[in-house]
C-alpha cells in the first residue's frame, strides 16, 4: 500500500493570503466598506470561502447573502494566482517526496475549482495525485470525512497516510480520521493549533519528519 501525504493548500503549500485579501477588499469596496489588515485576513482563512465572506461581512457590518459569495468567487477565480505563490522550498519538497515513493494530494477547504485553477497556474498539478476541495465531499475539514473521502478516491488507507496543515481544522480532521498529522508552522495558524502534532517550522523539515513517522 502506497504512503500518501495529504497537504492543506492555503497557508501550507501556498501563500495565498495576498489574493484572498485583495479580493475581499474589492468586495468590501463595492459595498462602501473599508478593507482589512493582513492579520485580520489571516484569522478569517481556514473554513472555506463562505465562512470567509461571512466573517468579513460580520466585521464590516454588512448583511451576508449567498450572492456575496458568488460575487467574491467570480472575482477571486480571475485573480487567484496573481500574487499567490508556493512557500519557498515547497516545489522541491514535493518533488523529493514523490521521488521517495510518496503519493501526494491536496485536501483543502477552498472550493475544488479554485484550487485546481491555482495549482494548474503555478505548475504544481503534475506533482499531485488528487485534489479534494471544501465542496468535493458532503463534509469538509475538521470533519474526518474530508480526508477519508479523498483517500478512498485514491485507493489509500488512513494508517498509511499523513495530513500536513497550518490550522486546527487540519490537525483535528487528521486525528478524527486516524491519520498522522504534521503542523505547518509557517502558515496562517497559531502555534496552539498544532494540538500535539509534530511541528514543521519550514517546508524543508518535512522529508525528515515524514521519514520518521511510524505508519501502519
Ligand atoms: O479556503 C480556506 O479558508 C482554507 O483553505 P485550506 O483548507 O487550504 O487552508
Ligand atoms: Mg490552511
Please choose, from the candidates 132, 182, 148, the residue with its C-alpha nearest in 3D space to the C-alpha of residue 162.
Answer: 182
Going by pLDDT thresholds of 50, 70 and 90, the confidence category of residue 186 is very high
What does CATH list as the number for 17-79? 1.10.150.240
Using the mean position of ligand 2's atoms as its centre, give its distance from the Cα of residue 76 in Å: 17
Query: Is the model's pLDDT at 1 over the cut of 80?
Result: no
Using the mean position of ligand 2's atoms as its centre, give its distance from the Cα of residue 164 in Å: 9
Ligand 1 atom at minimum distance from 109 CA: 7
Domain at 4-15+84-211, CATH homologous superfamily: HAD superfamily/HAD-like (3.40.50.1000)
What's residue 72's pLDDT? 98
Please choose, from the candidates 93, 125, 101, the residue with its C-alpha nearest in 3D space to the C-alpha of residue 3.
Answer: 101
Does the active-site annotation cover 129?
no
Q: Record the cell numbers describing residue 140, joined without a space.
A: 469538509
Q: Which residues contact 71 (CB under 8 A, 6 or more apart)?
A: 27, 30
Which ipTM did the prediction report?
Answer: 0.95
Catalytic residue among 8, 166, 170, 205: 8
Please choose, from the candidates 154, 108, 163, 159, the residue with its C-alpha nearest in 3D space to the C-alpha of residue 130.
Answer: 154
**pLDDT tens sequence across 113-149:** 999 999 999 999 999 999 999 999 999 999 999 999 9
Using the mean position of ligand 1's atoms as its centre, give its distance from the Cα of residue 213 in Å: 25
Residues with CB under 6 A from ligand 1: 8-11, 45-49, 52, 108-110, 167
The CA-based dihedral angle spanning residues 138, 142, 146, 152, taken in that order and rounded to the nearest 10 degrees = -140
C-alpha distances out from residue 11 to 25, 41, 113, 130, 216, Å: 19, 12, 18, 18, 28
Regarding pTM above 0.90, the answer is yes
CA 68 to CA 57: how far, in whole Å? 9
Residue showing cell 513517522? 213
DSSP character string of 18-71: HHHHHHHHHHHHHTT-----HHHHHHHTTS-HHHHHHHHHHHTT----HHHHHH
Query: Is the model's pLDDT at 215 over the cut of 90?
Result: no
Question: ∠109-166-36 over CA atoms, to 5°?
Answer: 75
Average pLDDT score over the chain = 97
Q: Which ligand is nearest to the CA of 136?
A: 1
Residues within 5 A (CB) of ion ligand 2: 8, 10-11, 166-167
Domain locations along the chain: 4-15+84-211, 17-79
**pLDDT tens sequence across 24-74:** 999 999 999 999 999 999 999 999 999 999 999 999 999 999 999 999 999
Amino acid at each position: 500500500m502506497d504512503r500518501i501525504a495529504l497537504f492543506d493548500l492555503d497557508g501550507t503549500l501556498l501563500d495565498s493570503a495576498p489574493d484572498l485579501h485583495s479580493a475581499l477588499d474589492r468586495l468590501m469596496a463595492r459595498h462602501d466598506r473599508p478593507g482589512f489588515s493582513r492579520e485580520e485576513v489571516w484569522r478569517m482563512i481556514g473554513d472555506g470561502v463562505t465562512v470567509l465572506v461571512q466573517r468579513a461581512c460580520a466585521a464590516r457590518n454588512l448583511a451576508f447573502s449567498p450572492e456575496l459569495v458568488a460575487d467574491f468567487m467570480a472575482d477571486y477565480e480571475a485573480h487567484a494566482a496573481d500574487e499567490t505563490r508556493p512557500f519557498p522550498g515547497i516545489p522541491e519538497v514535493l518533488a523529493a517526496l514523490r521521488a521517495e515513493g510518496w503519493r501526494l494530494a491536496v485536501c483543502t477547504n477552498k472550493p475544488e475549482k479554485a484550487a485546481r485553477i491555482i495549482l494548474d497556474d503555478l505548475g504544481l498539478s503534475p506533482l499531485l495525485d488528487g485534489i479534494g476541495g471544501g465542496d468535493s465531499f458532503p463534509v469538509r475539514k475538521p470533519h474526518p470525512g474530508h480526508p477519508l473521502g479523498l483517500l478512498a478516491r485514491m485507493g489509500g488507507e488512513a494508517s498509511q497516510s499523513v495530513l500536513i496543515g497550518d490550522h486546527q481544522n487540519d490537525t483535528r480532521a487528521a486525528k478524527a480520521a486516524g491519520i498522522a498529522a504534521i503542523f505547518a508552522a509557517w502558515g496562517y495558524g497559531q502555534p496552539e493549533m498544532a494540538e500535539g502534532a509534530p511541528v514543521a517550522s519550514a517546508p524543508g523539515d518535512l522529508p525528515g519528519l515524514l521519514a520518521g513517522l511510524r505508519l501502519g
